[in-house]
Amino acid sequence: MSPSDANRRAANTGAARGLRDDLARTVEHLRAFRAESSDPGRLYRLMASDALDQVASTIDLVGALFVDVGGGPGYVTEEAANRGAECITIDRHPSELHLHGRRPASALIADGARLPLPGERVDIVHCANVLEHSPAPFEILDELVRIIRPGGIAYVSLTNWLSPWGGHETSPWHYLGGEWAARRYARRHGHEAKNRYGQSLFRLSVGDVVRWTRARTDVDVVDLSPRYLPRLARFVVTVPAIREVACWNLRLVMRRRS
pLDDT digits (tens, 9 = 90+) for 124-167: 999 999 999 999 999 999 999 999 999 999 999 999 999 999 99
Domain 35-161+202-256 in this protein, CATH class: alpha beta
**pTM (two decimals):** 0.89
Chunked mean pLDDT (size 10), the chain, 258 residues: 51 54 75 76 88 95 98 96 97 92 92 96 97 97 98 97 95 96 96 94 97 97 93 91 94 96
Give the model's pLDDT for residue 4: 57
Q: Which residues share a beta bridge with 127?
A: 156
Q: What pLDDT score does 184 carry?
A: 96
Burial bucket for residue 132 (CB in 10 Å: 0-12, 13-18, 19+): buried
Vertex 154 angle, CA 150 and 158, to 5°? 155
> Would you state the pLDDT for residue 11?
43
Q: What does the alpha-carbon distance between residue 81 and residue 140 come to, in Å, rounded to a whole number? A: 24
pLDDT computed for residue 8 by the predictor: 52
Query: How many beta carbons lie within 10 A of that of residue 9, not counting itself?
Result: 11
> Looking at residue 80, what DSSP letter applies?
H
